[in-house]
Chain A
């Protein structure tokens, strides 16, 4: 990989507001042409990171490199970035066309050029025929498309999106996600998208970075983040997961045995540093758990006893709540469709999963 292929690199990037540390020494590298999502809970620092990259706030310490050049002290308009804001960020007194063309008019481009580029951009974002509308005549989704066009028309090669779909309803958000992905693939520039919505992140992202408490928790492809989270926080934040605390009783290379107090389970562990006696957590996704009347047989199956509590019908899936012998709650999800045995409250059952489906977390 050459320098040119890296769009954004932050070096120990830190932002403090008085005594509050919004971002704490974050190193992140974003490849050119990637759809990169910053995912995390509200107040975790992901928007701060985006605003530092865009130049809307100045770092307390650390550096922002865009295409290898240090831009830490440059204002937003001198960086190769353009920003799409949460909402209400269109100029309310200008038509769609004038909103999109404003940046080009500031650059004193010939009128014909401006008209052509604005027209092309409106076509790209699917707003042909709405050029003469005022922002208040548009739906929320359309307004965000105008913002997208206004940012893209300047041909910056890094587009920053700050919770661009937060104000839209669920159905529209889904459609807009696919639209964003299509547009990103078409223009081929780097998109950096901030969201707290994991479904949104999964839909658009080539790579996801989890940001919480001002730190970069974990980074990977959507599949890696979901299927093989390394950090306990990641497993907990993304998807429905059951987490059990325990201690390592045996560790041999790629496998560890963990004592949970009421059961011992085998977990895949590619961590050579793992020591016997270490406190760890084991997580299993709710949809990878199954219910059995008797402990499932076979080497591969792991299991533990549990007491049935109740089921919650969720449409696509049904969630079953159970209690472990130590009174912690476990949720098992399966597809609602088809014949299933009914369980009674208090019924003793066994939870089972394939050893390879569990994840081990040391932190």
Chain B
């Protein structure tokens, strides 16, 4: 753990203070990389990227979690795992191919626009679907949605089926059952899935590389660009800022919701 996990994290922080050289870096202490980050468009892009990742999390929850609940509640026990396994299938295709395949789908002359025009919802093709933050969010949701389905389903598996019958007996409607019972009981899974999707949306450079454009980048792509430009201290600094942001978010979340209570297994 220490060697493969803590040490690289520590080195990331240490290296972010090193002096940049032409092809690598040398020991020293300078805040130049941080200055570079905060005074350029990168900081702004980074904040936008966090915002877009949050939207991706919310959409994934809105789509993925109900799928998990449906599978657990309505399907026969034997079919449940088979249906959940279907969500693994996309992972058998390289992510690069999967994301790339979205490009023609979302394009101006792609099937999505054609379909929307066909049913008369729009008059002319929407160009906001590709090479924009919208495109990136769509890509993130489609790439990482299964994680919400998996973690939501696993959390729901711990919930006894009797619980739903009790809700029916007491007269809790769909909304009350969902808000009062299902969400609190599945909170550990929802939380795990959300963190996973947020981190990936923020850090996986591939999605904005393929589907993004000017202003539609994420932290991972910023790091990538810094590495391509051989500015290693900057790449390290952005990574360190990512870590700091996530730790801060977890801390705030903990203060607000008491995460130990959410994560503690309910027995």
Contacts and interface: CB of A to CB of B under 8 A. Distances in A.
A77 B180 contact: no
**Chain A: interface size category:** 20 to 34
A83 B171 contact: no
Given A78-B171, A136-B266, A136-B267, 17 more contacts: A56-B165, A56-B168, A75-B168, A76-B169, A77-B171, A83-B165, A83-B166, A85-B162, A89-B165, A91-B166, A93-B184, A102-B170, A102-B180, A103-B171, A106-B170, A106-B171, A151-B169
A190 B63 CA distance: 44
A92 interface: yes
B181 interface: yes
A92 B267 contact: yes
A48 to B, nearest CB: 14
Interface in B138-176: 160, 162-163, 165-166, 168-172, 176
B126 interface: no
A82 B167 CA distance: 11
B171 A107 contact: yes
A85 B165 contact: yes
B170 A85 contact: no
A77 B169 CA distance: 5
B163 A83 contact: no
A106 B170 CA distance: 8
A119 interface: no
A161 to B, nearest CB: 13
Nearest to A51: B165
A54 interface: yes
A88 interface: yes
Given A85-B162, A86-B162, A89-B162, A154 B266 contact: no
Contact of A77 (B163, B168, B266): B168
A55 to B, nearest CB: 8
- Which 6 residue pairs of A and B lie closest in terms of their CB atoms, listed nearest first? A77-B171, A89-B162, A103-B170, A88-B160, A92-B266, A76-B169
Contacts of B192: none
A60 to B, nearest CB: 18
Contacts of B170: 77, 102-103, 106, 150, 154
Interface in B193-213: none
B263 to A, nearest CB: 13
Given A102-B180, A106-B172, A89 B266 contact: no
Given A82-B169, A136-B267, A89 B176 contact: no
12 contacts: A54-B169, A75-B168, A76-B165, A77-B170, A77-B171, A89-B165, A91-B166, A91-B181, A102-B170, A102-B180, A103-B170, A106-B171
Given A93-B184, A93-B266, A136-B267, A76 B168 contact: yes
B171 A89 contact: no
B184 to A, nearest CB: 5
A54 B166 CA distance: 11
Contacts of A75: 168
B163 A89 contact: yes
A88 B267 CA distance: 10
- Residue of A76, A82, A136 contacting most chain B CB atoms (<10 Å): A76
Contacts of A102: 170, 172, 180
B185 interface: yes
A97 to B, nearest CB: 15
B182 to A, nearest CB: 11
Contacts of A89: 160, 162-163, 165-166
Contacts of A103: 170-171
A83 B162 CA distance: 11
A77 B170 CA distance: 6
Contacts of A77: 168-171
Contacts of A88: 160, 162
Contact of A91 (B163, B165, B169, B171): B163
Nearest to A134: B266
Nearest to B176: A106
Contacts of A93: 184-185, 266
Interface string A119-130: 000000000000
Contacts of B166: 83, 85, 89, 91, 150
